[in-house]
Amino acid sequence: MNTIRYELDADGIATVTFDAPGSPVNTMTREWQRDLDEAASQLERDNARIKGVLLASAKSTFFAGAALKHVMTLTAADAAPGFAEIEAMKKSFRRIESLGRPVVALLNGAALGGGWEVALIGHARFALDDAKIQFGTPEVTLGLIPGATGITKTVRKLGLLAAQPYLLEGKLFGPREAVELGWVDGLAADAAELRVQGIAWIAANPDAKQPWERSDYRMPGGTPATPKIAAGLAVAPAMLLQKTRGLYPAAEAILETMVEGALVDYDTATRIESRRLAKIMVGQNAKNMIQAFFFDLNAIKSGKSRPAGFAPWRPKKVGVLGAGMMGAGIAHANAARGIAVVLKDVSLEKAEAGVAAIREITAPQVAKGRMDAAREAKLLGLVTPTAQAGALDGCDLVIEAVFENRELKAAVTREAEPMLAPGGVFASNTSTLPIAGLALASARPDHFVGLHFFSPVHKMRLVEIIRGKQTSDETIARAYDYVAAIGKTPIVVNDARGFFTSRVFGTFVMEGAAMLAEGIAAPLVEHAALAAGMPVGPLAVLDETSLSLSVHVMDQTRADLAAEGKSHTLSAGEQLVERMVKELKRRGRAGGAGFYDYPQGEAKRLWPGLKTTFEKADATATATGNLALLSRRFLYRQSIETARCLAEGVLTSAHEANIGSIFGIGFPAWTGGAIQFIASEGRERFFARADALAASCGERFRISPEVRAAIASLSS
């Protein structure tokens, strides 16, 4: 055996150690599966001399799970042999746990996905007492299902209702929660103590069995036939469909497998698992989500976009200019990670209002028991509200988060920049204005960078780092480290109007406005976006972000381009938004009315005037029969603009395009991101459909030779 070591000591303790050569982690490679079969055979041969079995790892983690690179190569033709392969591996699991000897897994580190299913071979588990360690079955977040006994065992251990968060949502848990759930039997300080605990458990439980194999076993909470469970299951599919919109087949497969498996014996239930996993793992949805949430996200976490050669950096003191919603959110993000922050506004009253906004974020956490009062007080104590620029003295980083006005941003830059500590960094939280222009107000443009946070800051994971023309590599490295230090996900893009995320997000909302301008009914526009997988309809988003702000950005863009001797013609969607604000006086939610009405004490609803002002019966009738085409327009418009960003050098990698589009603008996760969506469609089909959309909807869908070349280079 090459990936597994087997030892049987004089006391009858057989130790099976997972140790894949040349790899930092253990995964379910085909070689490992063959070795596991051989290990099971060796255990059977030695059974008479064995008192118990320990499952251990020679790596810093216990087991990482499936070999995802292999999954990415699978096609529909691999489903049948895949089923046989899954069944063979599970047969090895079954042979080990059915030896008639106690089996204990020693969890010295993380065990996720297939790795947790390996841990579940044991009749007991002991884990290191380390809060950083995570366990669980997050396969659904990768478009897969826990099909190596994970669903069957979790349902039988926790019950149908209690198992749902861990299977349908991929909820993870640490060692202490695992003890509370009954998954882990004890915690240890180190690996030596783990082994001692495991051996002691073996001695105390010579006739160990899995709980569901005992004669007195009853499924916790009841079976699908139990009235309370049956009532919940009657509505569960509809609730799941409402949440997934039918775009996430793994979640549906998990629910089906949970219920069907709970109606049959254990072995039949695991075969149901295998069939569903074999089908799901060869699908395009799994490939899309694995690409984004494993390969692309890991590329970012590993610092692939961080300039090399610079020491790690973490600011001790951060200044935030502007205590509005964004500024308060940024201040909270710093304080939540233990970084002292000075929150400055034009008056102490406004700065203190920013602290009050931070308290509105922490108060619900305290109320729900997720944060104690002492921790809240410590967090708030790290925030210093002020109206004095002198309070910024010694800041390692200052972030301006004032209104999107070039003159205002220049003024606060000139006031605050001299307060920076030697070598400090100044950042702008602008969402649209080019960094090169803003850096003109800086005395040190090489230390000037864009840090584009997303609203609400405490919920949004992404921060877009924008490199200006003069921004140094060291400044980018520091910005990257800072974003990671506050627990956010960084992507690095080059300077341009709207950068990447705002530019592409603008195409989404303006495509919705363009549909309305064509006469398509507003409810149909919103529904088409939701059907595509976007989290919110474009008209609702425009209201939330303020129609007035959109018009301000248009005006600023026209003024900037005019200063450069260039003209700018508004698109049909932009013209409609401008009309909403300037003619119809509907400025968005903050203004009390926009595409939606906001009656006090009632749910918002689409403004009836949209129907009489914009809707055309023939356009709506045609669109109603082509809902899929409307949904495609939203996805293609954003993907094409993303590809343009790549071709122009605004984006420099597909992994940042995919993660940025999902985390920053809500591009549907089922696609794997805007560039992965192009790959999943197939290059030639994507080009053909884009050409058809250009012919029917306008030149914004036209793909230039340069963009085609950029797309081709990614798929070659």
- Both 71 and 216 in one domain: the answer is yes
- Both 363 and 508 in one domain: the answer is no
In a domain, 370, yes or no: yes
- Both 524 and 485 in one domain: the answer is no
pLDDT at 716 over 60: no
- Both 266 and 324 in one domain: the answer is no
Classify 534 as helix, strand or coil.
coil
pLDDT at 420 over 80: yes
Which of 197-201, 395-399, 403-407, 441-445 has the lowest average pLDDT? 403-407
Please give the biggest Cα pair distance in the chain.
89
CB 653 within 8 A of CB 500: no
The count of other CB atoms within 10 Å of the CB of residue 524 is: 18
- Both 480 and 508 in one domain: the answer is no
- Both 471 and 509 in one domain: the answer is no
Mark which of 426, 459, 492 sits at the end of a domain. 492
pLDDT digits (tens, 9 = 90+) for 321-337: 999 999 999 999 999 99
In a domain, 307, yes or no: no
Residue 335 phi, psi (nearest 5)? -65, -35
In a domain, 23, yes or no: yes
| Residue 705 host element (H or E) | helix 705-715
pLDDT of amino acid 561: 81
How far are the Cα atoms of 82, 130, 184 from residue 261, in angstroms, in the given order?
Answer: 20, 33, 24
Question: What is the rounded radius of gyration, in angstroms, for the C-alpha atoms of the chain?
Answer: 28
pLDDT at 414 over 80: yes
- Both 480 and 400 in one domain: the answer is yes
pLDDT digits (tens, 9 = 90+) for 146-203: 999 999 999 999 999 999 999 999 999 999 999 999 999 999 999 999 999 999 999 9
pTM, to two decimals: 0.92
pLDDT digits (tens, 9 = 90+) for 305-364: 999 999 999 999 999 999 999 999 999 999 999 999 999 999 999 999 999 999 999 999
pLDDT digits (tens, 9 = 90+) for 271-288: 999 999 999 999 999 999
- Both 198 and 53 in one domain: the answer is yes
Percent of the chain at pLDDT > 70 equals 100
Residue 715's pLDDT band (cuts 50, 70, 90): low
Alpha carbons 434 and 470: distance in angstroms, whole number: 12
What are the residues facing 491 on neighbouring strands?
Answer: 464
Mark which of 434, 459, 492 sits at the end of a domain. 492
Domain that holds residue 694: 502-649+682-715
pLDDT at 672 over 60: yes
pLDDT digits (tens, 9 = 90+) for 494-534: 999 889 999 999 999 999 999 999 999 999 999 999 999 99
In a domain, 299, yes or no: no
The count of other CB atoms within 10 Å of the CB of residue 241 is: 14
Please report, for the domain that includes residue 477, its CATH number. 3.40.50.720
Alpha carbons 446 and 420: distance in angstroms, whole number: 14
Q: Taking residues 389-413, what's their average pLDDT?
A: 95
- Both 157 and 271 in one domain: the answer is yes
In a domain, 675, yes or no: no
The count of structural domains within the chain is 3
Q: Taking residues 559-583, what's their average pLDDT?
A: 88
In a domain, 295, yes or no: no
pLDDT digits (tens, 9 = 90+) for 586-597: 999 989 999 999
Please report, for the domain that includes residue 199, its CATH number. 3.90.226.10
Alpha carbons 460 and 462: distance in angstroms, whole number: 6
pLDDT digits (tens, 9 = 90+) for 93-113: 999 999 999 999 999 999 999
In a domain, 672, yes or no: no
Alpha carbons 557 and 551: distance in angstroms, whole number: 10
Please report, for the domain that includes residue 569, its CATH number. 1.10.1040.50
Q: Of how many residues is the chain composed? A: 716
Mark which of 492, 511, 532 sits at the end of a domain. 492
In a domain, 657, yes or no: no
- Both 134 and 182 in one domain: the answer is yes
Residue 545's pLDDT band (cuts 50, 70, 90): confident
- Both 551 and 486 in one domain: the answer is no
Mean pLDDT of the chain: 95
Q: Taking residues 613-641, what's their average pLDDT?
A: 93
Alpha carbons 82 and 86: distance in angstroms, whole number: 6
Local structure of residue 220 (DSSP, 8 states): T
Q: What is the CA 78 to chain-centroid distance, rounded? A: 29
Q: Which two tokens stand for residue 392?
A: 């910024």
Local structure of residue 370 (DSSP, 8 states): S
CB 639 within 8 A of CB 689: no
CB-neighbour burial class of residue 224 (10 A; exposed 0-12, middle 13-18, buried 19+): middle
Residue 490's pLDDT band (cuts 50, 70, 90): very high
pLDDT digits (tens, 9 = 90+) for 426-439: 999 998 889 999 99
Q: Which two tokens stand for residue 397?
A: 């980083």
- Both 367 and 466 in one domain: the answer is yes
What are the residues facing 383 on neighbouring strands?
Answer: 341
CB 333 within 8 A of CB 354: no
